[in-house]
């Protein structure tokens, strides 16, 4: 299939582009580079040995988006593009709602007008909010997010269900990720957050490579084995392969719109991750224990059984592989991707 990957220059998007190409699909990328770099295109083409057309514009421009669909003969869409910083979304809710929703509406309009019926959506476990029966998450349907970012995912999932209900033949997979981490084993693509990382793994990697002085562990007094929070960390290559599996199973979905948890089904604590990274990097990681971060749950991980059985997909990579691949990327690219 000829697949349009929105946000394909981003962290999960770029790894999914590679997995789609390796599975024999053609890929077209659209990205506005608001949180990624154009140099990703060269890395993807070198790794895949294939030409990967990049279109650089903002998807909220509906006219340009429709022209893209007409010009590129798209068969399916994998949609990552969107703002995703939880904290930033709290201080800039309107910017988040407008960007994330308008970009999606623009894609759906173009699909309607050009007869594209396959859609894979990058959703998030954040739609489970803090009221769901944690830590074990089946595809829980009483969605409620605690940030505007998470709410954009809840709203988009609702919009997709309503649009598919009036379009016979549309097939949509909603992929709810837990904690994406790791990098392609080549070390040529990886996570490159702009500014100070919010998430644990890029912060650890930047401490290990000397860009940051030390890690602050946000609380060690949680009701967990070692007192630090537990999360379902999934290797980004497992995640990318999950998108390919979802795309290739769209025609067999049990219902036109179906949600899948993409996770490992087990939790790893902050300190377990710190020590695994020390083993991978062969160096001590300086850290201090600070106060809890508001909103953090003690333990939160996936029940990936539906994805395992219905998509024939399973996360296979270990925490040690995650740390080794992350370290290979970060040590080879201490300041992330070059600007040009």
Q: Which residues are catalytic?
A: 149
Out of 200, 234, 257, 311, which residue is the one contacting ligand WQD (CB under 6 A)? 200
d(CA 171, CA 194): 34
Give 4's contacts (C-beta < 8 A, 6+ positions apart): 28, 29, 30, 68, 69, 72, 74, 76, 77, 78
Q: Which of 61, 67, 199, 224 touches ligand WQD by CB under 6 A?
A: 199
Looking at the Cβ atoms of 69 and 80, the one nearer to ligand WQD is 80
Among 203, 277, 301, 327, binds ligand WQD (CB under 6 A): 203
**Tokens coding 107:** 């894609």
Name residues contacting ligand WQD, limited to 225-264 (CB under 6 A).
229, 231
Kindly tell me which of 248 and 303 has the beta carbon lying closer to ligand WQD: 303
* DSSP-assigned beta bridge partners for residue 300: 231
Out of 198, 224, 308, 331, the only residue in the binding site for ligand WQD (CB under 6 A) is 198
CB of 268 vs ligand WQD, minimal distance in Å: 10
From residue 257 to residue 296, the character string flagging contacts with ligand WQD as x (rule: CB under 6 A) and all else as - is: -------------x----------------------x--x
Residues 22-81 that bind ligand WQD (CB under 6 A): none
Contact range with ligand WQD by CB under 6 A, out of 28-36, 154-162, 213-221, 240-248:
213-221
Run of H or E including 76: strand 76-79
From the CB of 232, what's the least distance to ligand WQD, in Å? 9
* Residues 75 to 114 in contact with ligand WQD, rule: CB under 6 A: 84, 86
- The pairing of strands 215-218 and 257-262 is unpaired
Q: How many residues bind ligand WQD (CB under 6 A)?
A: 18
Pairing relation of β-strands 268-269 and 230-231?
antiparallel
For ligand WQD, give the closer residue by CB, 18 or 145: 145
Q: How many CB atoms lie within 10 A of CB 41?
A: 20
The counts of H helices and E strands in the chain are 11, 15
One of 217, 245, 257, 281 touching ligand WQD (CB under 6 A): 217
Rounded CA-CA distance 283/286 in Å is 10
Residue 172's contacts (CB-CB under 8 Å, 6 or more residues apart) are 118, 119, 120, 121, 160, 161, 164, 250, 256, 257, 258
Q: Which of 81, 66, 70 is nearest to 29 (CA)?
A: 81
Residue 218 binds ligand WQD (CB under 6 A): yes
Closest approach of ligand WQD to the CB of residue 248, in Å: 24
Question: Which one, 167 or 211, has the nearer CB to ligand WQD?
Answer: 211
Alpha-carbon span 238 to 224, nearest angstrom: 26
Closest approach of ligand WQD to the CB of residue 55, in Å: 25
d(CA 13, CA 156): 18
∠ at Cα 80 (305, 333), nearest 5°?
100
Provide, rounded to whole angstroms, the least separation between the CB of residue 267 and ligand WQD. Answer: 10
- Nearest residue to the partner ligand WQD, using Cβ: 229
- Which residues have a Cβ under 8 Å from the Cβ of 166 and sit 6 or more positions away? none
Smallest distance, ligand WQD to C-beta of residue 303, A? 17
Residues that bind ligand WQD (CB under 6 A): 84, 86, 124, 126, 179, 198-200, 203, 215-218, 229, 231, 270, 293, 296
């Amino acid at each position: 299939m000829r697949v349009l990957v929105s946000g394909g220059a981003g962290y999960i998007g770029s790894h999914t582009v590679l997995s789609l190409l390796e599975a024999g699909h053609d890929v077209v990328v659209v990205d506005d580079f608001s949180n990624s770099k154009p140099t990703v295109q060269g890395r993807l083409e070198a790794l895949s040995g294939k030409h990967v057309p990049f279109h650089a514009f903002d998807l909220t421009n509906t006219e340009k988006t429709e022209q893209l669909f007409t010009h590129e003969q798209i068969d399916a869409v994998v949609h990552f593009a969107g703002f995703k910083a939880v904290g930033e979304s709290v201080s800039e809710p309107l910017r988040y709602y407008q960007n994330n929703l308008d970009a999606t509406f623009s894609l759906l309009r173009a699909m309607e007008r050009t007869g594209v019926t396959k859609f894979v959506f990058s959703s998030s476990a954040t739609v489970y909010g803090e009221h769901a029966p944690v830590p074990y998450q089946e595809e829980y349907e009483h969605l409620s997010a605690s940030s505007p970012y998470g709410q954009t995912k809840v709203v988009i999932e609702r919009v997709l269900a309503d649009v598919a209900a009036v379009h016979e033949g549309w097939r949509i997979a909603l992929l709810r990720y837990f904690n994406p981490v790791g990098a392609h084993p080549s070390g040529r693509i990886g996570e490159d957050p702009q500014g100070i990382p919010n998430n644990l793994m890029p912060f650890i990697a930047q401490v290990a490579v000397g860009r940051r002085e030390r890690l602050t562990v946000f609380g060690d007094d949680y009701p967990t084995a070692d007192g630090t929070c537990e999360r379902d960390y999934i290797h980004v290559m497992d995640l990318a392969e999950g998108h390919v599996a979802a795309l290739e199973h769209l025609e067999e979905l049990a219902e036109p719109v179906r949600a899948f948890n993409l996770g490992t089904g087990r939790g790893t604590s902050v300190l377990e991750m710190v020590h695994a990274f020390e083993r991978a990097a062969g160096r001590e990681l300086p850290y201090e224990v600070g106060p809890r971060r508001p909103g953090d749950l003690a333990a939160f991980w996936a029940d990936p059984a539906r994805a395992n059985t219905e998509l024939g997909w399973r996360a296979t990579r270990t925490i040690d592989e995650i740390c080794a691949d992350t370290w290979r990327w970060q040590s080879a690219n201490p300041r992330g991707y070059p600007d040009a």
